[in-house]
Amino acid sequence: MAKCRICGKPGFVYVSEYKGYLCKEHYSRFIESKVDRCVKRFALLRGIKRLLIGLSGGKDSIALLYIMNRLYGDKIELEGLHINLGIPGYSGESQQIVDKLSSITGIKVSFINLCADYGFSIKKAADYYFKKRINRPPCSVCGTVKRYLLNKYAVEKGFDAVATGHNLDDILRFASTNIVTGDVSNLVKQVPREESTHPKIVTKIRPLCYLSNKETLNYVEANNLPIVRTTCPYKPSERKLAPMLASKIGEIEAVIPGFKSMYINNLWRKIIPSIKTEPVELNECEICGMPTSIKVCSFCKIRHILTSDQSEERFL
């Protein structure tokens, strides 16, 4: 059996940087040092005393909270936030997993229940758009809802920043999709640290941006952490553009090791800085008062459409 290159214990996983296997403990330290280097390189925690971590219950957010607690739990105040999205067969398990992680780490986690607190669910949104034959995928609604609620909670509770579990593969998949579709202005937000641009918009950080899917999965297994095993019923099919691009990027990396690092570094150093964007004027949403470039923010539009008897024409 392969042995750990550092201590000689049974090897857990092959690590190309070590040209050999590492045991669970040394693999965990290796991953944590990668995150720590990233945090320092991009000054992700500059000025941050209270950090809110978005917890979906998936491998990335679970690894994120665990790693941040191990590395900085004695220096900054950490809290988790889980949003129960009301997705049958998925949301219940997600909430239980997050609850378990809170018990394991001792980190406080707060919960928002979309159905109970806001009167609609992602299932209701998916059913509505399907019935109306409106091409709005559930993930698009879900993304809007999660971004809005995480930011709103952080602003109201006085957090300095929100951390999310976006990893290297997520960022490259998103970047590739936007390059192919020509939506390059969307790329400017795909950075390790996105500064606040308004008193009601908190800074966003992505400490796992140098870890791959495989690395976060190995990390949660090495540390025996609970993660949601059920797949969301609304996950896009493998035949959609984004998953296909992600799979191609993985194939290139297998033939050309270091391809993903080259891609992400060029994205941050060359591509994003060369994108010219006009500053967006922000107003207060007529309904909730949160910043928006239009009269009523996307979250309030979705909520109104799904919870009121009035026609949706007002917003469509």
Helix axes 241-255, 168-181, angle to 10 degrees: 120
Using alpha carbons, select from 203, 136, 108 the residue that is nearest to residue 163.
Answer: 203
Report how far residue 122's alpha carbon sits from residue 179's, in angstroms, rounded to the nearest whole number: 28
- State the alpha helices, DSSP H only, in 42-156: 59-72, 91-105, 114-118, 122-131, 138-156
User: The tokens of 33 are what?
Assistant: 């040092």
Stretch that binds ligand SF4, among 33-41, 134-142, 160-168, 205-213 (CB under 6 A): 134-142
- Whichever of 2 and 275 has its CB closer to Zn ion, that residue is 2
x/- mask, ligand SF4, residues 71-110, rule CB under 6 A, reads ----------------------------------------
User: Does residue 232 bind ligand SF4 (CB under 6 A)?
Assistant: yes
Under 8 Å between Cβ of 232 and 87: yes
Under 8 Å between Cβ of 101 and 226: yes
- Within residues 7-46, the interface with Zn ion by CB under 5 A covers 7, 9, 23, 26
Cβ 267 to Zn ion, closest distance in Å?
Answer: 31
- Identify what 297 binds: Zn ion, ligand SF4, none; CB under 5 to 8 Å per kind: Zn ion
φ and ψ at residue 313, rounded to 5 degrees? -55, -30
- Whichever of 233 and 258 has its CB closer to ligand SF4, that residue is 233
- Whichever of 120 and 268 has its CB closer to ligand SF4, that residue is 120
- Identify what 282 binds: ligand SF4, Zn ion, none; CB under 5 to 8 Å per kind: none
User: Does residue 245 bind ligand SF4 (CB under 6 A)?
Assistant: no
- Identify what 232 binds: ligand SF4, Zn ion, none; CB under 5 to 8 Å per kind: ligand SF4
Stretch that binds ligand SF4, among 13-21, 137-145, 264-272, 277-285 (CB under 6 A): 137-145
User: The tokens of 88 are what?
Assistant: 């049958």
Using alpha carbons, select from 307, 311, 308, 306 the residue that is nearest to residue 130.
Answer: 306
User: Does residue 240 bind ligand SF4 (CB under 6 A)?
Assistant: no
Element (H, E) at 168: helix 168-181
